A = this chain, B = another copy of it.
Amino acid sequence: MKSPPGEIENKSKQLARLESFSDGVFAIAITLLILELIEMLHSSGRAELGKLLLAHWKSFLVFLIGFLTILVCWINHHLVLSFAEKTDGNFFWVNGFVLLVVTFTPFPTAILAEYLEKESHLALAIFGFNYFMMSIAAYCITVYINNRLTSHEKNELLHCYVLLYRWSIIYTLIVFFVCLIAVPLAIALYVLLFVVFAFPKEFASKLMAMRNKRKRRSSRRMTAG
């Protein structure tokens, strides 16, 4: 399909608008989490303040978890999108899928806050299922940018992100089932996942270095052979 000249010029402006819209969605989703804590305050019917806060320490923890989850999503979205050079009609929907998962996140977070004590297995599994969906969304957007929206012929770092997100799909799927069996193990595995995606660039770079080393070794072996 041919596009008129006026549109081609607008390409990078369109990408900027997609970013600013996405930033808005992330910013609102991350800020709405506090409404849960305020709701808790109101629904407690003016109990004694000290006792109230101590009784609800889990709500604070869950607020922090929700905040960090969305922040990690934003950091990864931001990094991956920095490779895109243009945008197209399908990309709105790939990005829209990411935004759907991000927008949805306050809901499993609220479930975690209300049901962690009573139905810990199911509550954590629902929250973990959200991580699984996030991994799929991150994988989709990275693959799409890698295949269609970047001109770097063979951007190795971006390719490592693709691998990283592909592994995270399998990883989060496994941990989702672990949630139903052993809550503490699942939490430990989520913390590990979290550490990796808090610094995606560093891990992708390490991955790249490892792959290059292996390649060189195998090419040497081939030369030797």
Residues on A facing B (Cβ under 8 Å): 1, 3-4, 6-7, 10, 13-14, 17-21, 23-39, 41-43, 46, 48-50, 53, 63-64, 67, 71, 74-75, 78, 82-83, 89, 92-93, 96, 99-100, 103-104, 106-107, 110-111, 114-115, 118-119, 122-123, 126, 150, 152, 155-157, 198-199, 201-202, 205
* A155 → B minimal CB distance (Å): 7
Residues of B within 8 A of A122 (CB): 49-50
Q: Complex Cα distance A63/B107, Å?
A: 11
Given contacts A35-B32, A103-B34, A41 and B155 within 8 Å (CB-CB): no
Q: Give this chain's copy count.
A: 4
Chain A contact residues: over half helix, strand or loop, or mixed?
helix
Task: Give the 5 A-B residue pairs with the shortest CB-CB distance, closest first.
Answer: A24-B27, A28-B31, A21-B23, A10-B82, A25-B27
User: Could you list some 21 contacts between A and B, CB below 8 A?
Assistant: A1-B202, A3-B157, A4-B156, A7-B82, A17-B78, A20-B23, A21-B74, A23-B27, A24-B27, A28-B28, A29-B31, A29-B34, A32-B35, A34-B103, A38-B106, A38-B110, A46-B114, A46-B118, A67-B103, A75-B92, A75-B96
- B23, B37, B89, B157: the one contacting A17 at CB < 8 Å is B23
CB distance from A3 to the nearest CB of B (A): 8
Inter-chain CA distance A17–B127, complex, in Å, is: 28
- Chain B residues with CB under 8 Å of A46's CB are 114, 118
Please give the distance in Å from A152's CB to the nearest CB on chain B: 6
Besides A53-B126, A78-B92, 4 more A-B contacts (Cβ < 8 Å) are A4-B152, A35-B35, A41-B110, A49-B118
